Amino acid sequence: MSSPASKASWTPEFHRIFVDLCLGEMLKNEPGSMRITKAGWRNIVGSFYAKTGVRYDKKQFKNHYDSTRKLWKVWVKLTDDSNMKWDPEMRTFGASEEDWQNYVKAIPEAAQFQSKEIQFKDKLDIIFDGGNRIEEVKRWASVKWQNDASATSPLCGREREKKHKNFDRDCESDSTIMVDYSPTPKASWSPAYHKMFVDLCIEETLKGNKSATHFTKEGWRNIVGSFNAKTGMRYDKKQIKNHYDSTRKLWKIWAKLTGEDNMKWDPQTKTFGASEEDWHNCLKAFPEAVQFRFKELQFSDKLNVIFDGAMPTEEMITRLKRQNDASATLHGREHEKKRRNVGRDCGLKSAIMVNAIPIRTIPSEQSMSSSSYTKVKAAWTPTLHKVFVNLCMQETLKGNKPGTHFTKEGWKNIMESFYAKTGLNYGRLQLKNHWDSTKEQWRTWCKLIGTSYMKWDPSDQKFEAGEEDWTNYLQENPEAAQFRYKELQFTDILETIFNGTTVTGETEPAAQQRKSEGSVITFPLDTKEPDTDNLDEKTECHCDAVASRNGVSIQKNASAVSSTEGKHNYSIGECIECLDRMEEIEQGSDLYMFALDVFLKQEYREIFLQLKTPNLRISWLQRLQSGGPPPV
């Protein structure tokens, strides 16, 4: 227990409690009274001790009251000065550096507010300049109390009168009802508030707190809490959701408008190239688009991420990383704080300026604490899936997938790279679950296109099967329904990752082989010698690159399977012919000469010709080259 003579140390939390207690006592005053009474000071001293365990005396509280009032006066004078151009919506000053220098020269105390605003400004306005607002708040609190009382127990007659008489006494013991004084205001969405709202939606989307078309309960809780903390408003979840729905409706109109070919939207110049006649025809059929006739939709890039799963920009990812770092730091601090008593905490920070907050805060404490840095829900949008698949391909080419799964190093690299590219800190289990589901989709796809009567045409990328064929196939393979009207994405990359198999643990016929432009043949899934007829049975070849510190060795871990043919050999000439067609590699360059040495080894020739795209071949060659001269 702290002694009454202990030095007062006003941490942000202690200051908040003090302000709330002062507000509660001011609301108890008689009309016209603008000072805290003796009884009020006694209540503040007692309540503060009950809430914190720290015993400050009346003089210490009055000193803090006076210093807070002095700061409030400085702030009011500063924001009222027209030269300083305070914007209450943006919560920023528009004054120039010269204006600041002149003002601070005349009023040095204002220097502390050049980058920070005073905290609890609305409450301090009532405490130090309440006037009619106190009576308004009292009336609201009285109505709220009566409504709450009638909702909990129907009192009548003398009991209701007795309860009403004891209202002031109840407030004396617990002033919470009057501290949270304002009813929910009508939502007014200024441009600054809308920008804040969109940024908060971005943060929750990238955290994974958005399922399908709306946010999770946690996501909404974070958005509402952070928005009110940043703006000082008291909007509820319904008001926030209504604005979300109206924003989504606007975005849909914009997306439809910019997607019309005849409107000729240019994302670079941010203008439409449509003629007056085109606009007239468009608005006749689509009148809602008239609002975008002369102005574009604000924050369209961010809204694409929120509503369409588009890839976030570098700026968005950086912002989320900062929030995650702040969340992790806060979590650590809170954990450490719980191990200390309140009395020891009060000596950590002092001076009232700790109570100032940055004008552009990052996320609120509520938002940070309610969303864990290390545990976010995995939401796999098409863009995130593409990032994941590309990372899996990179680790496969590095040799970090010796079997059906990646090594520890491979998973570690995928996790770190995924976080660096997206700002999402998905755990290994979440990534492995997505790997398994992707592998299952790949198996389903391979089985589907390998079924002869489904008539998959790799050139046109479509099935020629009739309705009856589809009905019969889906009865036996209902999981293939997802590919009824759309093909599997990133098949070329998945062929590389899964080594041309359906990854069932057994060797199965793989997908149809394809021909590239011209007469050059690539081998995405099965081995085939150039200029020969199609084999009745497909041949599979499984090759894994195993990386080592002293170089890169290639290990054959499965044998070729064929009913009529044995293992096919690829000549050096075929590899050089393919290499010469790759415009990305200059003939005679170091990489070109290195490739010629690589072709001396049969296993290398097989891998080189089975990689589907020039980029893959180049990446593989560069990987080998980085490990030193290839073994021959």
Share of the chain above pLDDT 90, in %: 11
Given phi > 0 = left and psi -120 to 50 = alpha, else beta, which region is 456?
A: beta
Residue 148: its pLDDT value, please?
52
Contact 613, 492 (CB under 8 A): yes
Domain boundaries, the chain: 12-179, 191-370, 378-509, 513-632
Q: Using 50, 70 and 90 to split pLDDT, how confident is the model at 184?
A: low
Instruction: Report the pLDDT value the prediction gives residue 136, as an integer from 0 to 100.
Output: 53
At 5, the pLDDT band (50, 70, 90 cuts) reads low
Higher pLDDT, 402 or 579: 579
Residue 364 near residue 357, CB atoms below 8 Å: no
Q: How confident is the model at residue 403 (pLDDT cuts 50, 70, 90)?
A: confident
pLDDT value at residue 562: 36
What confidence score (pLDDT) does residue 243 get? 92
Q: What is the mean pLDDT of residues 534-554?
A: 34
Spatial separation of the C-alpha atoms in residues 466 and 453, rounded to whole Å: 9
3-state DSSP call for residue 340? coil
The reported pLDDT for the residue numbered 346 is 44
Long-range contacts of 484-492 (CB under 8 A, 24+ apart): 487/445, 487/461, 487/462, 488/441, 488/442, 488/445, 489/382, 489/385, 489/386, 490/385, 490/386, 490/389, 491/445, 492/524, 492/612, 492/613
Calculate the average pLDDT of the chain: 73
Structural contact between residues 27 and 171, judged by C-beta atoms closer than 8 angstroms: yes
Tell me the one-letter amino acid at 198: V
> What's the pLDDT score for residue 198?
93
pLDDT at 572: 87
The confidence band for 500, taking pLDDT boundaries of 50, 70 and 90, is very low
Higher pLDDT: 275 or 517? It is 275
Q: In 467-571, which ranges are continuous DSSP H helix?
A: 467-476, 491-497
Residue with token string 């004084």? 181
Tokens of 628: 């030193």
Is the pLDDT at 301 greater than 70? The verdict is yes
In whole angstroms, what is the distance from residue 405 CA to residue 36 CA? 70
* pLDDT digit string, tens, across residues 362-371: 333 344 333 4
- Whether pLDDT at 144 is above 60: no
CB 374 within 8 Å of CB 427: yes
Top-confidence residue, 285 or 129: 285
Question: Is the predicted pLDDT of residue 73 greater than 50, yes or no?
Answer: yes
Burial (CB count <10 Å: 0-12, 13-18, 19+), residue 584: exposed
- pLDDT, mean of residues 195-208: 88
Residue entry with tokens 């702040």 = 326
* Residue pLDDT, tens place only, 243-267: 998 899 998 998 889 888 888 888 8
Split at pLDDT 50, 70, 90, the class of 321 is low
* Average pLDDT estimate for 59-79: 91
Q: What is the 8-class DSSP label of residue 533? A: P
pLDDT of residue 484: 82
**394 or 330, higher pLDDT:** 394
What pLDDT does residue 313 have? 66
Examine the pLDDT at 299 and tell me if it is beyond 70: yes
Q: Beta strands of 15-79 (E only): which ranges?
A: none
pLDDT for residue 630: 54
pLDDT digits (tens, 9 = 90+) for 227-239: 988 888 888 888 8
pTM value surpassing 0.85: no
Tell how far CA 63 is from the center of its chain: 45
- Confidence band (pLDDT; 50, 70, 90) for 201? very high
* Residue 503 confidence class, pLDDT cut points 50, 70, 90: very low
Question: What is the C-alpha to C-alpha distance for residues 581 and 368, in angstroms, rounded to an integer?
Answer: 54
* Statement: residue 69 has pLDDT above 70: yes
Q: What is the pLDDT of residues 85-125, one digit of tens each?
A: 888 777 888 888 888 888 988 888 888 888 788 988 888 88
Per-residue pLDDT, 267: 84
The larger pLDDT score, comparing residue 617 to residue 146, is at 617
For residue 184 the two structure tokens come to 């929910």
Model confidence at 318, in pLDDT bands (50, 70, 90)?
low
pLDDT band of 66, cuts 50, 70, 90: very high
Pairing of strands 551-556, 543-548: antiparallel
State yes or no: pLDDT of 342 exceeds 60: no
User: pLDDT band for position 357 (50/70/90)?
Assistant: very low
CB contact at 8 A, 282 and 257: yes
Confidence grade of residue 391 (pLDDT, cut at 50, 70, 90): very high
The pLDDT value recorded for residue 18 is 93
The pLDDT, as a whole number, for residue 172 is 43
Report the candidate in 140, 245, 131, 125 with the shortest Cα–Cα distance to residue 183: 140
Cα Rg for the chain, rounded, in angstroms?
A: 34
351: confidence class by pLDDT, cuts 50, 70, 90? very low
Whether the per-residue pLDDT at 176 is higher than 50: the answer is no
Indicate the DSSP class of residue 214.
E
Task: Please state, in angstroms and rounded to a whole number, the distance separating the CA atoms of residues 376 and 209.
Answer: 7
* Pick from 314, 117, 63, 132: nearest CA to 206: 314
Helix pair 572-580, 590-598: axis angle to 10 deg: 160
Confidence of residue 548 (pLDDT cuts 50, 70, 90): very low
pLDDT for 185: 62
- Contact in structure between 393 and 497 (CB atoms under 8 Å): yes
Which pairs from 267-273 meet CB under 8 Å and 24+ separation? 270/296
Q: Which of 257, 252, 215, 258 is nearest to 237 (CA)?
A: 215
- Confidence category of residue 569, pLDDT binned at 50, 70, 90: confident
- Looking at per-residue pLDDT, the higher value among 510 and 302 belongs to 302
| SS3 annotation, 133-172 | HHHHHHHHHHHHHHHHHHHHCCCCHHHHHHHHHCHHHHHH
- Assess whether pLDDT exceeds 90 at residue 65: yes
Residue 186 — φ and ψ, nearest 5°? Answer: -70, 130
Q: For position 115, what pLDDT does the model report?
A: 77
Pairwise CA distance, residues 187 & 45, whole Å: 38
Q: Where are the beta strands (DSSP E) in 412-535?
A: 456-457, 462-463
Which positions ≥6 away from 464 have C-beta within 8 Å?
A: 455, 456, 457
List phi, psi (to 5°) of 299.
Answer: 55, 40
Q: pLDDT value at position 316?
A: 64
The single-letter DSSP state of residue 234 is -
With H, G, I as helix, E, B as strand and everything else as coil, classify residue 463: strand
**Residue 249 or 207, more confident:** 249
- Give the separation between CA 552 and CA 630, rounded to whole angstroms: 7
Among candidate residues 270, 215, 209, 222, the one with its CA nearest the CA of residue 247:
215
Neighbours of 28 (CB within 10 A): 19
Helix (H, G, I), strand (E, B) or coil at 117: strand
